[in-house]
Structure 1
Amino acid sequence: MEAADVFLPVIAWCRTRQSQDSQAEARRQKRRLKLLAVQRLRLKKLRETWRLREKVYKQSKLRRLCSHDTWMKAITHQFLRDHRRKRPKVWLHPRTSDWWENTAATFTDQEWLQHFRVSRETFSYLCATLNPKLRRQDTNYRLCIPLEKRVALTLYKLAHPCDYRTVADLFAVGVASVCHCVHEFCTVVIEVLKPQLVVTPNKFQLDNIEECFHHTYQIPQCIGVLDSMNITISRPPHLNSEKPDGDSYLAILFQAVVDDKGLFWDLSMSCPTWVNDNSGELLVCEDFSTRMHNVCRTDSSCVVIGDAGYPSKNWLLKPSTNVSWLTAEQELLNTQIIAARSVAHYAFERLKGRWRCLSRRNDCNVEIVKDMVETCCVLHNLCEKNNDMCLPDWIGQEPLQTVDENPQKNSESFDDLLQLIQDSAE
């Protein structure tokens, strides 16, 4: 009984203590849950705050970028507007082309020949032959100059001693366009037509030329006549030599060999040099002498007739200069040589008569001047082969009398010399 009385309070106290501990643990657990909920709520609010701040930052950054992009676009637009090429007030200057389209279209054959120095058939041949090289296409900005007009204005420029502006006003084009058309036409003619029209004769052609000279002038083994002319030019900027005297002028020496029909078959030109009216004849370059030597010594000893002022060459036949000691045979040979040289003289007169640009000072570049001279020679051969007329007023004298299309010598002087030879022989 006493033992039970002792343990019962202890057991009651333990139970009470256990109940208190359980309640305290429940309160602590409740407090921990409450603190955890508060922490979660605080973290949630913090995340929302950072998310809002990040959104605001992105929006402000985007606004700054947009404003910077707009600012850069404005600066770029202003820069381009200030530095762009100013639009011309007149893109294409209005011109009237009545002369070419209306007046030239009504020309008679004689008037056409007078203005362009070639017949209509030769003009059509030039347009058809040079069309692959000179053909141009229209663009979205402007129409190209027609091929016929480009060929016509070039022929007019070569045929008349006028400047580029005169040709530009006639054909209703710009001055720069005239320069370009002339240079392009000359380049294409040299490339396409020169290999066909200005070539060294072959063996059969040389035999025909030799036979013609022998039949007409009694000069055997002659295959051509050598002559030259001076093309006056302006002083190039790179030329350092001074003018030697007051009578000298700057020129390009043009030298050519002519056959029995007055056609050029070899052309040579020198560099610009100071010349005067008393300058002697020169051989333009060593290459020319080599070519003549190769042609004349290919199969037989042929010769080329030249003036007495040329230097002595084994392929060059010149008249005797010591006229006070000439025999009748030498005087006869001199007369024959002079008569044969009239072929080259007349060919050069027809060349200068057709293409008057060769008779005045040329202000173009030296290389362009040479191309223009070669083009004129090619066109001369083309006109001669097509039997285009060469009017007497172009050369200022009546054409030489011809027999079988060859210049004829003065028969009376030859008869007198032949009679003198016969008398001396008796």
Structure 2
Amino acid sequence: MEAADLCAGLFPSVVAWCRARQFQDNQTEARRKKRRLQLLAARRLRLRKLQGTWMRRGKVCKQSRLHRLCAHEKWMTAITHHFLRDRMRRRPKVWLYPRTSDWWENTASAFTDDQWLQHFRVSRETFSHLCMMLKPQLKRQDTTYRLCIPLQKRVALTLYKLAYPCDYKTVAELFAVGVASVCRCVHEFCTAVIEVLKPQLVVTPNDSELVKIADFFLHSYGIPQCIGVLDTMQITVIKPPHYQSEPPNRESYLAILLQAVVDGNGMFWDLSTSCPTWVNDSCGLQESWACEGFTIRMLNVCGTDSGRFILGDEGYPSQHWLLKPCTNTSWMTAEQEVFNSQISQAHSVAQHAFERLTGRWRCLNKRNDCSVEIVKDMVETCCVLHNLCEKNKDMFLPEWISREPPPTANGKS
């Protein structure tokens, strides 16, 4: 009983102590929470003050920077004003030379078909065909600074340059363009013709075409299995600066040899051009080919068992596919004389083709002042255009053939 009474007396005191302890803990936690809130409030206040300080500083910096920019702009405006004022006092430089293109735009556009043929050596239909075929390679676009040369004008000035033995300056003044532009147009036109039209117009005949050519020479001149006539002409050029070779004598001149095989219709089906060599009118043709690949091409066409051959002059090297006339001696028989006569008559096909070539494109008649590579391209271009005109049946005027045609490499006119 005493123990129970003791426990009953201690229980209220323990409960009271626990309640007092819990109350103290609650007050301590409340003070801690209040302190934390005060610290957060102080921190927010400091942040707001610091943000305001930075905003004021940024505003001051922006204002000072704006003042500096305004001052700099005023300074640059003043400098530009004085610079332009000084420039306006000077006479402006002329960067575009004034030219008049009245001949091409008015005179040439009003040409009749005969006048057009006389000036450009091709018909209007052939001219349109050239422009259409070469448009991807020759078409140019206008720029912000100047207009490009139209396609028709580029083709026309190149044909005029090839048709007449004139210099670049004459063509430039006639078509109202620069000399450098004429040179560039001629070079680009020749390159485009060689890349696009030459594979179509100057090709080795197939078997059926070779049979037709052989039949033509058989019925016309009595020569069987003849598929072409070989001839060579000279194109005189100036001596290149890097050319070290000297002329063997005072009568020699530098020339490029054009070697071509002509079919019965007077069209070229094989072309070869040589490097510049010294030639002399008083000497005969040297026994050499214009290029090393010519004999290989002829072997592929004629072969060893086909029996076909081409006609050549006595100056060419002897080959089993090349038929040459007999040597002109006093011991020739009647059959040999008839044979030589037949070959001479058949050789007129090549002479006639070269006459029409040089008559239509007169740039081949006189010495060409262009570089050697451009001259070679011009020669091949003239041959390709010759085939195109012959294929399209363009008219050839007799007055185009000069009275003194250029000498060929074999000594004939």
User: Is the TM value for this pair above 0.5?
Assistant: yes
| 1:143 and 2:147 matched | yes
Within 1, Cα distance between the matches of 2:157 and 2:178? 12
Q: 1:7-406 counterparts in 2 under 5 A?
A: 89-277=93-281, 278-281=283-286, 282-297=288-303, 300-396=306-402
Within 1, Cα distance between the matches of 2:304 and 2:195? 27
> Quick one: structure 1 residues 299 and 144, their matched pair in 2 at CA, closer, same or farther if it must change by over 3 Å?
farther
Within 2, Cα distance between the matches of 1:217 and 1:152? 40
Task: For residue 165 of structure 1, give the secondary structure of its aligned residue in structure 2.
Answer: helix
User: Which whole-Å deviations, capped at 9, do the CAs of 1:279-338 have from their partners, x for residues lacking one?
Assistant: 414311221111111111176111110011111111110111133111111111100000
The answer for the alignment partner of 1:84 in structure 2 is none
**Bigger radius of gyration:** 1
Q: How far does residue 88 in structure 1 lie from its aligned partner after superposition? A: 7.8
Q: How far does residue 226 in structure 1 lie from its aligned partner after superposition? A: 0.3
Residues 284 and 315 in structure 2, CA contact (< 8 A), matched pair in contact too = no
Task: For residue 257 of structure 2, give the secondary structure of its aligned residue in structure 1.
Answer: strand
User: Which whole-Å deviations, capped at 9, do the CAs of 1:339-368 have from their partners, x for residues lacking one?
Assistant: 000000010011000000001111111111
Task: For residue 368 of structure 2, give the secondary structure of its aligned residue in structure 1.
Answer: coil
Q: How far does residue 258 in structure 1 lie from its aligned partner after superposition? A: 0.4
Letter of the 2:139 counterpart: R
Within 2, Cα distance between the matches of 1:328 and 1:104? 58
Within 1, Cα distance between the matches of 2:138 and 2:118? 25
Within 2, Cα distance between the matches of 1:323 and 1:381? 38
User: Which whole-Å deviations, capped at 9, do the CAs of 1:65-110 have from their partners, x for residues lacking one?
Assistant: 99xx99xx9xxx9xxx9xxxxx982232221111111111121111
The list of structure 1 runs, each at least 4 consecutive aligned residues, that deviate by more than 4 angstroms after superposition, is none
Count of residues in Structure 1 that have an aligned counterpart in Structure 2: 342
Within 2, Cα distance between the matches of 1:222 and 1:216? 11
Aligned-pair Cα RMSD in Å: 3.3
> Quick one: structure 1 residues 144 and 244, their matched pair in 2 at CA, closer, same or farther if it must change by over 3 Å?
same
Within 1, Cα distance between the matches of 2:311 and 2:92? 60
Letter of the 2:180 counterpart: A
- TM normalised by structure 1 equals 0.73
User: Which whole-Å deviations, capped at 9, do the CAs of 1:117-146 have from their partners, x for residues lacking one?
Assistant: 001111011111111211111111111111
Within 2, Cα distance between the matches of 1:90 and 1:298? 68
Within 1, Cα distance between the matches of 2:185 and 2:206? 34
Task: For residue 330 of structure 2, give the secondary structure of its aligned residue in structure 1.
Answer: helix
Q: How far does residue 213 in structure 1 lie from its aligned partner after superposition? A: 0.5
> Quick one: structure 1 residues 367 and 88, their matched pair in 2 at CA, closer, same or farther if it must change by over 3 Å?
farther
> Quick one: structure 1 residues 201 and 298, their matched pair in 2 at CA, closer, same or farther if it must change by over 3 Å?
farther
User: Which whole-Å deviations, capped at 9, do the CAs of 1:362-402 have from their partners, x for residues lacking one?
Assistant: 111111110000000000000001111111111147xxxxx
Letter of the 1:350 counterpart: R
Letter of the 1:207 counterpart: V
Task: For residue 325 of structure 1, give the secondary structure of its aligned residue in structure 2.
Answer: coil
> Quick one: structure 1 residues 138 and 260, their matched pair in 2 at CA, closer, same or farther if it must change by over 3 Å?
same
Within 1, Cα distance between the matches of 2:186 and 2:101? 18
Letter of the 2:234 counterpart: N
Letter of the 1:367 counterpart: E
Residues 255 and 277 in structure 2, CA contact (< 8 A), matched pair in contact too = yes
Letter of the 2:394 counterpart: D
Within 1, Cα distance between the matches of 2:328 and 2:376? 37
The percentage of aligned residue pairs carrying the same residue is: 71
Within 1, Cα distance between the matches of 2:289 and 2:343? 19
Task: For residue 269 of structure 2, give the secondary structure of its aligned residue in structure 1.
Answer: strand
Within 1, Cα distance between the matches of 2:354 and 2:312? 14
Within 2, Cα distance between the matches of 1:305 and 1:237? 38
Within 1, Cα distance between the matches of 2:161 and 2:92? 30
Letter of the 1:186 counterpart: C
Task: For residue 224 of structure 2, give the secondary structure of its aligned residue in structure 1.
Answer: coil
Within 2, Cα distance between the matches of 1:323 and 1:332? 14
> Quick one: structure 1 residues 123 and 248, their matched pair in 2 at CA, closer, same or farther if it must change by over 3 Å?
same
Within 2, Cα distance between the matches of 1:309 and 1:185? 35
Structure 2 regions of 5+ residues with no counterpart?
Answer: 1-60, 85-90, 404-413
Letter of the 2:314 counterpart: A
The answer for the alignment partner of 1:403 in structure 2 is none
> Quick one: structure 1 residues 95 and 290, their matched pair in 2 at CA, closer, same or farther if it must change by over 3 Å?
same
